[in-house]
Chain A
Amino acid sequence: MSRIFITDTTLRDGSHTVSHKFNPEDVKKIVSALDAAGIDIIEVGHGDGLTGSSINYGFGDHTDFEIIQAASSIIKNSKLAVLLIPGIGTVEDLKKAKECGITAIRIATHVTEADVSAQHIREAKRMGLFTVGFLMMAHMADVHTLVEEAKKMESYGADVVYCTDSAGAMLPVHVQEKISALVKNLSVPIGHHSHNNLGLAIGNSLAAVEAGATYIDGSLSGLGAGAGNTATDLLVAVFNKMGYEHKADLFKTMDASTNALIPVLEAKGIKTNTNLDTMILGYAGSYSSFLLHARRAAERFGVDIRDILIECGNRKAVGGQEDWIIEIASDLAKLKNN
């Protein structure tokens, strides 16, 4: 199986959640954490893409170009992308975005309207940008139509074509069917973007990879329009468990959520009920009621709860062995102090 490329869209799809009000400082903080976590592509900008700032979709406090410049000033290894929806953004805007520092572009159309992206995809390729074709509302088209439209984007020069579940309406069986057809009929890599409206985002992402997709979208803590996207944190955890090859670091991705994104959201008065510790229970295979005990022990011994829960999993603790937590926390503290 080829390696998976993760695109994090916290600062683009997640912009919907903050009414497009991420400021350049927020962007720097979050981009720098994502970059450090080894995320392949970081997408920023208005939720409705380049120059989406409008009465119809909501005005941002900063232009996309200011946001791109802020991100570009801090990014080291990841590609920096924006979304462009033809009919909203133009090639002129794309050129400006390139000058501000993007290295990748995602060109989005409704799933049946790929031909309006021809001029933008061709121009993006001419500028040397890594270019992704993004077919939105993919649940509305049958497999045949989706494949035909995706082939158009490929023929314009797209490096990757996405099946985008903008409405979070697809079931794993649909994802499987659509992604396999795309993989079979196109020669460029295929991507999937999910929304968690039916609680299926991570399941659909897995179904997509199993069907051959190699580009998968996520956002920190699942921030995004509607119920949000697949959480990037979850993607990394689950990909690790599946043994997929990718470049992201689990703890650093979680730290990007906890230490970069959450404080930014809280400063905007947005309450989150992200509980990444619970994810680690599943990741490590630790008994669920260990959670609160591990949290107390982490505080008491000054260690990371994630290390405690993972060690519980490694030592194969079973239900009822809450007492092991104290021993593990104490061992970890000793290790740390040495």
Chain B
Amino acid sequence: MEKVKVGIIGPGNIGQDLMIKLRRSKYLKLACVVNIKESEGLDKARELGIDASAEGIDYLINNHKNNIKIVFDCTSAPAHLINAPKLKEAGMFVVDLTPAALGPYCVPAVNMDENLLKSDNVNMVTCAGQANVPIVSAINKAADVVYAEVVSSISSKSAGPGTRANIDEFTVTTRTALEELGGADKAKVIIVLNPAEPPILMRNTIYTKVKNPDLNKIKEAAFEAAKTVQQYVPGYRFLLEPIIEDDIVTTMVEVEGLGDYLPKYSGNLDIITAAAVNIAEKKAQLMGGIK
């Protein structure tokens, strides 16, 4: 199968991490990177021999119209609202890594199915969503979650200016995904930035209040979910396996990154870029199959 051509809009932290991950992909080939101004990310792309332009999304669409099939949007929620219709018109499948949430939420370990792949735009929620929804969803299936609460701590260094300026969007989008995709009747999300040096790994404490407190079933489901995530994020692991008190299950996972663009402490970056590559590869395989 010929590799499917993909493009990146916005080569910041996320976009540059994707550039590295895409080089390893068996199904995807990066063909174009665009930004709205000259930047380090564009220089990196040129070094790799990739077509790179500071003329933004229009350059990508005009020059790669029938070439690029999948686009990763790594800009910001407001920018994505402008980009999305243009990409749709150009017939490009969009993997949205902003919290715009125009398309359906996608957490590969939870809802990777044909339906999702049929839409023209999928949203990658947030890093906290990618890290926590799989466990909440698994516990929900095993024990029926009435309330899920997540405390995600990330190192200050790995929280970019976009996250910082829009922390509310981050918590709200994560919460909605825990309810809609994770199946919790109600959810709460707490985000803590920790400036410790050396930087801490992304750490998630997941509390769930359940209807059927069968710990063995819960553990089994949680382990299974973690295994699925580990297929695309190898550094995803339990810090505390599920324990229970009354009807409240507590478990903790940490995420160590691959150290592609940012060092290993930035597992929060990896988990969303790895998930994005994962769905793009599934889409590419489907495209190959149709052909």
Residues of A within 8 A of B (CB): 51, 54-56, 86-88, 90-92, 110, 112-113, 115-116, 118-120
Contact = CB atoms under 8 A, between A and B. Distances in A.
A54 B209 CA distance: 11
A119 B167 CA distance: 9
B207 interface: yes
Contacts of B190: 54, 56, 87-88
B193 A116 contact: yes
B289 interface: no
A110 B147 CA distance: 28
B130 interface: no
Interface string B126-145: 00000000000000000000
A119 B248 contact: no
A87 B191 contact: yes
A87 B193 contact: yes
B205 interface: yes
Interface in B265-284: none
A56 B151 CA distance: 8
Contacts of A55: 147, 149, 207, 209, 248
Q: Is the interface of B mostly helix, strand, loop or mixed?
A: strand
A86 B168 contact: yes
* Most chain A beta-carbon neighbours within 10 Å: one of B161, B165, B190: B190
Given A115-B165, A119-B166, 7 more contacts: A54-B149, A54-B190, A56-B149, A56-B205, A92-B168, A118-B165, A119-B167
B164 A116 contact: yes
Nearest to B163: A116
A113 B207 contact: no
Nearest to B209: A55
A118 B32 CA distance: 34
Contacts of A112: 156, 195
B35 interface: no
B195 A86 contact: no
A113 B149 contact: no
B239 interface: no
6 contacts: A56-B149, A56-B190, A87-B171, A87-B193, A115-B164, A116-B193
A120 B205 CA distance: 25
Contacts of B167: 86-87, 116, 119
Nearest to A52: B190
Contacts of B244: none
A156 B193 CA distance: 20
Contacts of B165: 115, 118-119
B156 A90 contact: no
Contacts of A56: 149, 151, 190, 205, 207
Interface residues of B, number: 23
A44 B10 CA distance: 43
B188 interface: yes
Interface of B: 147, 149, 151, 156, 161, 164-168, 171-172, 188, 190-195, 205, 207, 209, 248
A119 B171 CA distance: 14
A90 B205 CA distance: 20
B12 to A, nearest CB: 16
A110 B188 CA distance: 20
Given A55-B207, A56-B205, A115-B161, A110 B193 contact: yes
A112 B166 CA distance: 17
Contacts of A51: 188
Please list the 4 inter-chain residue pairs (A to B) with the smallest Cβ-Cβ separation, ordered nearest first: A87-B191, A55-B207, A90-B168, A112-B195
B173 to A, nearest CB: 11
B240 to A, nearest CB: 14
Nearest to B152: A87
A113 B151 contact: no
A56 to B, nearest CB: 5
A119 B161 contact: no
Contacts of B248: 55
A257 B248 CA distance: 37
A115 B156 CA distance: 11
Nearest to B147: A55
A116 B195 CA distance: 13
Contacts of B166: 119
Contacts of B168: 86, 90-92, 119-120
B205 A113 contact: no
Contact of A113 (B156, B161, B172, B209): B156
B161 A110 contact: no
A328 B147 CA distance: 63
Contacts of B191: 87
A216 B188 CA distance: 33
A56 B203 CA distance: 14
Nearest to A123: B168
Q: Which of B147, B166, B168, B172 has the most CB of A within 10 A?
A: B168
B256 to A, nearest CB: 22
Most A CB within 10 A of own CB, among B166, B188, B248: B188
Given A91-B168, A92-B168, A119-B167, A54 B161 contact: no
B195 A110 contact: yes
A209 to B, nearest CB: 29
Nearest to A48: B190
B205 to A, nearest CB: 7
Contacts of A119: 165-168
Contacts of B164: 113, 115-116, 118
A164 B151 CA distance: 23
Nearest to B172: A90
Contacts of A110: 193-195
B163 to A, nearest CB: 8
Contacts of A118: 164-165
